[in-house]
């Protein structure tokens, strides 16, 4: 039963995650943390940190880990299958139509409306994760430093993550 619940929950998340993995974060918050209570907010933020640092899309990494945490190996399979099903089906169905109708003014208008909504959902996800992650002065300083490095240098994001982890280790021992 839990396997079908995982598949259904992540199918729902996958269906409405227009704009990428970060857009799904508020959906996961609602479905996985608040409605189903499979994870706490702290556990979810930790999962995000791992999902962000591992190769692959954050949506798939998060679904896989949450599924594993909830129901083991088969839970990870069902959660991952659930989150990728809508995209896979949509890509197969839409590939030909998209190329044919992309220049259509109705399609262009729909994308014009979707872009700001995606920005809003990503911003909402940042606020959600920020509330759970920025819990003391060192975490705020690490976040500010990482943001500054990301926006004002050409450092690779992986290096910024590693420097942030090092800063966390240093501040944890001070």
Number of other residues whose CB lies within 10 A of the CB of residue 173: 6
Verify that 96 and 171 share a domain, yes or no.
Answer: no
- What integer pLDDT is reported at residue 28 of this predicted model? 83
Verify that 161 and 127 share a domain, yes or no.
Answer: no
Domain count, the chain: 2
pLDDT block averages, 10 residues each, the chain of length 174: 94 79 79 90 85 80 91 96 90 77 86 89 84 90 95 91 93 82
6/33 Cα distance (integer angstroms): 13
Burial 121-156 (b: 16+ CB within 10 A, else e): bbeebeebbeebbeeeeebeebeeebeebeeeeeee
Verify that 144 and 125 share a domain, yes or no.
Answer: no
- What integer pLDDT is reported at residue 67 of this predicted model? 94
Verify that 145 and 117 share a domain, yes or no.
Answer: no
Verify that 45 and 125 share a domain, yes or no.
Answer: yes
* Domain range enclosing 161: 134-174
Verify that 70 and 128 share a domain, yes or no.
Answer: yes
Cβ atoms 127, 25 nearer than 8 A? no
Single pTM value for the model: 0.63
């Amino acid at each position: 039963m839990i396997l079908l619940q995982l598949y259904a929950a992540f199918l729902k998340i996958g269906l409405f995650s227009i704009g990428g993995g970060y857009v799904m974060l508020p959906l996961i918050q609602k479905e996985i943390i608040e409605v189903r209570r499979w994870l706490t907010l702290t556990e979810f933020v930790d999962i995000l940190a791992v999902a962000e640092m591992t190769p692959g899309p954050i949506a798939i990494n998060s679904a896989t880990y949450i599924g594993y945490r909830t129901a083991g190996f088969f839970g990870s399979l069902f959660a991952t299958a659930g989150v990728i099903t809508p995209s896979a089906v949509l890509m197969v169905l839409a590939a030909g139509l998209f190329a044919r109708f992309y220049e259509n003014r109705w399609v262009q208008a729909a994308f014009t409306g979707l872009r700001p909504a995606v920005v809003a959902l990503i911003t909402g996800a940042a606020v959600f994760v920020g509330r759970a992650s920025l819990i003391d002065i060192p975490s705020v300083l690490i976040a500010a430093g990482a943001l500054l490095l990301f926006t004002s240098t050409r450092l690779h994001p992986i290096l910024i993550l590693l420097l942030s982890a090092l800063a966390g280790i240093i501040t944890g021992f001070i």
